[in-house]
Amino acid sequence: MISNQFQFQNLKRIKGIIFDLDGTLTVPCMNFQILRERLGISQGIDVLREIKKWDTVENKRAHKIIYEFELEARNIMQIQSGTINLLEFMEQNKLLKAIHSRNSLENIKYFVDHVKPYKFDHLVGRDESVEPKPHPSGSHEISKNLNLQPDQFLFVGDSIDDVTTSKSFGSISCLLLNETNRKHATSADFSVESFTELQNLLREHLVCNNTSSINVNSKQ
């Protein structure tokens, strides 16, 4: 765990968790470099914002490429280890569940179907009417819909975009660490190696309200 001197007692106020989907609730399997090559969009340019600028024919072609790319990923989708236990823990502790993703709503629902009987309270996917992450409007939609304030949410994701979204939204940010995102660990409020670690933190601070010392590898 890496924490930017985050006060874990702040987890007490959490009433819901907003999850990213790809690489967070599912094991990372999307090679976005391949998608960029297929679309002809270089690194550093936001794909969804870029194709919005294209004319109707090109935009339609781009959406078809993205759809096929996501379908390939969906076919090899693997649910992140510890997900079911975490969802069960959330049910027991009446924590609301939401997903804010840049993936299509169809693929988000495909994931949700695979974790039944657990249900999510609100889903936000790629939608022409909502600015994609890192814009926080999707998270604001969740907050409005679930009648909670942004600071009552924990936002869990695997990319710097998720951390940025969480910060602009006003929630607590948690980065789920993997082989490629460790450089962003200190940008988030705290980071975890696994959902099991996250669940243990929630159990300790949310339910038991136990503020006893934990082994924090603090970085500034």
User: Using CB under 5 A as the criterion, which residues of the chain lie in contact with Mg ion when the complex forms?
Assistant: 20, 22-23, 158-159
Residue nearest to Mg ion (CB): 23
- Minimum separation from the CB atom of position 42 to Mg ion (A): 20
Tokens of 213: 């010392």
Count of CB atoms within 10 A of residue 195's CB?
22
In angstroms, the CA 91 to CA 105 distance is: 23
Distances (CA, A) of 130 to 48, 83, 139, 150: 11, 27, 10, 18
- Minimum separation from the CB atom of position 130 to Mg ion (A): 17
Tokens of 1: 């765990």
Give the residue from 155, 197, 201 showing the smallest Cα distance to 174.
Answer: 155
Q: Which is nearer to Mg ion, 137 or 159 (CB)?
A: 159
Q: Which is nearer to Mg ion, 97 or 205 (CB)?
A: 97
- Minimum separation from the CB atom of position 13 to Mg ion (A): 25
- Minimum separation from the CB atom of position 180 to Mg ion (A): 11
In angstroms, the CA 165 to CA 100 distance is: 10
Q: Which is nearer to Mg ion, 158 or 189 (CB)?
A: 158
Q: Which is nearer to Mg ion, 16 or 28 (CB)?
A: 28
